[in-house]
Amino acid sequence: MSNKSQTLLDIFQEILAASGNSSDSKSINESHILSVLKEQASRGRSENLGSILVKVVSDVQNKLNLSIKTDTCGYCDGDFRDVVEAYNGIHGYVSLIVCTIGVLANTMNVAVLTRRDMAAAPINRLLKWLAVADVFVMLEYVPFSIYKYLVLPEKLDFPYSWAMYLLFHMHFAQILHTASICLTLSLAIWRYVAIKYSDRSHILCTEKRCSIAILTSFILPPILCIPTFMVFDIHTKNVTDVHGNPDIAYHVDSDNQGRLYQVNFWVHAVLIKLLPCSILTVISLWLIRALYSANQHQKNLRNYSACPAAEKMVKRQHKADKRTDRTTKMLLAVLLLFLVTELPQGILGLMSGLLGWCFFKRCYDLFGELMDFLALLNGAINFILYCSMSRQFRQTFRQLLLQRHLARFLPPTASHSESHNQNT
């Protein structure tokens, strides 16, 4: 027996001795070693099977003075990788908290935005369906998170039913998240048209066109996601269970060869992510400039008003402008939050298409949980934005919570002019 083989046997004997299962070298086989390794991993809560195997490989490398060539392309290395991986370890718990809060918050959004004095505004209809899409995304993410991050690490089992659900989760979440992107883009374009062409907004921003925008936002995503449907599928891998018996593990993976794989990344990165982000960036900058111009116009009017009649008219116009600005600021906050969430995903997807499979596995997979967290947070925080930036939303929400006999003690709801203002 060579020295290296003897050293390997000594290391495995140490593993067996540490587990209390000492044995002679002739009885050591693959199933025996795997069984002991998994038993060791199950004893220590702070260590899993992967960390123990890493220690074993490191021990072998040191004792045999081996230089093991790692299959890495050098992407996404550095101290930040440890930070991201540390978050990935707690993502399951964080995502469950965000999803629980997000489902409750978006349910309240839908309840408020469907009230009679709110539902008439096309902007509110778009916001309502955006909340509906976010509710379903978060509801579906809860069982996925529970099984993947809480159940699966303990079971080390990959049945066919889990692979089927994982494939469904991937497509369902992507379709609804793409629908949210389309609705957000519709919000931005709607507000741009209403302010840019304010004299014709009652003609351009109609109920019928709002319905078409909502319907298109839910029809277009399945079409855009067709390349993803064709690239990802269920794959099998022959493994050995804890008892040494042959078993099959089912997992979802993509075929990283061929033109369709590249097409999928370009569609996902450019059409679904970067193109909407680019349009939203331009519109957001225009809205910021419009707000600045409106503030300057209000200052000029206040300085110009000299007679009492003119001052009264200026005050009335000033109130209407403030309502318009509040709505614009609220939508601008929604758009900017969306950009912070979606732009990094689009850049990573584009680089995965340009740099290939290695970058995707080293970087896109690494930041996957963090990007999921940002997307979930984006859907959960809108309720806070609406409450903090819309007086009409706050008043309607208060009336919704309190009993009918207490409603008369509340301040009156927003005037018809404010409701009409939000229509555009």
The gap from C-alpha 178 to its chain's centroid, in whole angstroms, comes to 11
pTM, two decimal places: 0.72
- Return the pLDDT at 64: 52
Provide the token pair at 380.
């959960």
The answer on pLDDT for 126 being more than 80 is: yes
The answer on pLDDT for 27 being more than 80 is: no
Provide the token pair at 384.
């806070």
What distances in angstroms separate CA 104 from CA 136, 139, 178, 377, one per listed residue?
12, 10, 22, 13
Residue pLDDT, tens place only, 309-339: 555 554 555 555 555 667 777 888 888 888 8
Residue carrying structure tokens 């998170």: 145
Residue carrying structure tokens 């309240």: 108
Provide the token pair at 414.
């927003």
Q: How many residues does the chain have?
A: 424
Beta bridge partners of 254: 232
% of the chain beyond a pLDDT of 90: 24
Rounded Cα distance between 86 and 387, Å, is 34
- Return the pLDDT at 416: 44
Burial class of residue 44, CB neighbours in 10 A (0-12, 13-18, 19+): exposed
When pLDDT is cut at 50, 70 and 90, the band that residue 109 belongs to is very high
Provide the token pair at 11.
């290391």
The mean-pLDDT minimum among 55-59, 250-254, 275-279 falls in 55-59
The answer on pLDDT for 124 being more than 60 is: yes
In the chain, the domains with their CATH numbers are: 91-403 (1.20.1070.10)
Rounded Cα distance between 108 and 387, Å, is 11
Supply the mean pLDDT for the chain: 77
Residue pLDDT, tens place only, 332-386: 888 888 888 888 888 888 888 788 778 888 888 889 899 999 999 998 998 888 8
The gap from C-alpha 321 to its chain's centroid, in whole angstroms, comes to 35
Give the angle subtended at the CA of 46 by the CAs of 40 and 52, to the nearest 5°. Answer: 45
Residue pLDDT, tens place only, 176-231: 999 999 999 999 899 888 888 888 888 888 899 999 999 999 999 999 999 888 88
The answer on pLDDT for 277 being more than 60 is: yes
